[in-house]
Amino acid sequence: PDIAKLITDLPKAELHLHIEGTLEPQMMFALARRNKIDIPFRSVEEVHAAYNFTNLQDFLNIYYMAANVLVEEEDFRDLAVAYFDRAAADNVVHAEIFFDPQTHTDRGIPFDVVINGLLAGMKEAREKHRITSKLILCFLRHLDEDAAFQTFRMAEPWFDRIVGVGLDSSEVGYPPSKFARVFAAAGKARLKRVAHAGEEGPPEYVHQALDLLHIDRLDHGNRALEDTELTTRLAREAMTLTVCPLSNHKLQVVNDLHNHPIDRMLARGLRATINSDDPAYFGGYIGDNYRAVAKARNLSREACVTLARNSFLGSFLDDQEITPHL
């Protein structure tokens, strides 16, 4: 009967996690000191006080600033290891993590430093916790198509260690259509394709992600619910939605967690999953997201089991790797 215990015990896959969004204030200070980087905070309390976002851009401004403390390969490894340690406590057995190379290469950090550090952390997690993981390279949509192509070319030698490409950052004003060509190139390279759409942006952006980017998975997708035909299509196509309840609340995609649409999504036949997005900024990791939304929406045990099962169905694992989790 204890739903919190059920949630903790359920094996889960995490499908929407920005590794830069796992940078806890403590580590931010430690790396700032280690790398002699200035940050505009003097204490963890000051950091928490600054995490009072009213929209996506408010958050992104702080998130990109904080990422400046990540410099050495070891920093990226430490960041990943800290995430996997925390994820293991929530019974995450598989994670498909986003990274934003442009955030780092644009300030002179070599692509290889970023990816080698992350891959080292992923290897450590596999050995220490038996957690499997995959990397998804995200293009920053507030930057132009040329920049995305440059990043794509830079990543080419690493394609055997990247499962797919994604699209993130400021949504409104930066439609998926801008990136149709680089996503087509990614498809040709047999990479999976995902995109943030319908977080702040309109249902039209979800249509574009489907029809122009040919996505395999939809990140957020909340605003798709405003379009009945689109919702029906997403259900019919068994499109996985990577939903992030605490993020949605913190960024005011929903005004109150009590109004979160997670159960409406399931009721409409959508393959919804629960994820943490940027847990160091939004007040909780994946277990916290499940528990908070389960409480706010009075989710049944069955709904929680479905959400965890969906996370494996929606993952980029092979069928034989998924089957034991169904």
Binding site for ligand ADE (CB under 6 A): 18, 21, 56, 168-169, 196, 199, 247, 277-278
Q: Which is nearer to Zn ion, 14 or 277 (CB)?
A: 277
Indicate which of Zn ion, ligand ADE, none lies near residue 56 (CB less than 5 to 8 Å, by partner kind). ligand ADE
Q: Which of 14, 96, 199, 200 is flagged as catalytic?
A: 199
Interface positions, 166-195, toward Zn ion (CB under 5 A): none
Q: Shortest distance, CB of residue 9 to ligand ADE, whole angstroms?
A: 28
Q: Amino acid identity, residue 283? A: G
Q: Which is nearer to Zn ion, 20 or 90 (CB)?
A: 20
Q: Shortest distance, CB of residue 141 to ligand ADE, whole angstroms?
A: 8
Q: Considering only CA atoms, which of 65, 35, 34 is closest in space to residue 47?
A: 65
Tell me if residue 199 is catalytic. Answer: yes
Interface positions, 265-324, toward Zn ion (CB under 5 A): 277
The most distant pair of C-alpha atoms in the chain lies apart, rounded to whole Å, by 54
Q: Which is nearer to ligand ADE, 66 or 131 (CB)?
A: 66
How many beta carbons lie within 10 A of that of residue 317, not counting itself? 18
263 is a site residue for Zn ion (CB under 5 A): no
Q: Shortest distance, CB of residue 48 to ligand ADE, whole angstroms?
A: 18
Q: Which is nearer to ligand ADE, 19 or 304 (CB)?
A: 19
CA pair distance 209, 243, nearest whole angstrom: 16
Tokens, residue 311: 């996370």
Q: Shortest distance, CB of residue 191 to ligand ADE, whole angstroms?
A: 19
Q: Which is nearer to Zn ion, 171 or 277 (CB)?
A: 277
20 is a site residue for Zn ion (CB under 5 A): no
Helix%, strand%, coil% for the chain, nearest 5? 55, 15, 30
Q: Which is nearer to ligand ADE, 78 or 278 (CB)?
A: 278
Indicate which of Zn ion, ligand ADE, none lies near residue 166 (CB less than 5 to 8 Å, by partner kind). none
- Whether residue 250 contacts residue 228, with contact meaning beta carbons closer than 8 Å, is answered with no
CA pair distance 197, 130, nearest whole angstrom: 32
CA pair distance 171, 199, nearest whole angstrom: 8
Residues in Cβ contact with 279 at an 8 Å cutoff, skipping those fewer than 6 apart: 17, 21, 22, 86, 246, 285, 286, 288
Q: Shortest distance, CB of residue 220 to Zn ion, whole angstroms?
A: 7
* 192-197 sheet: strands from edge to edge: 12-18, 92-99, 132-140, 164-168, 192-197, 217-220, 240-243, 271-274
Indicate which of ligand ADE, Zn ion, none lies near residue 199 (CB less than 5 to 8 Å, by partner kind). ligand ADE
Interface positions, 58-97, toward Zn ion (CB under 5 A): none
The residue sitting closest to Zn ion, measured at its beta carbon, is: 277
Q: Shortest distance, CB of residue 195 to Zn ion, whole angstroms?
A: 10
Give one DSSP letter per residue of 152-173, joined into a string: HHHHGGGGGG--EEEEES--TT
Which residues contact Zn ion (rule: CB under 5 A)?
A: 277
As annotated, the active-site residues are 199
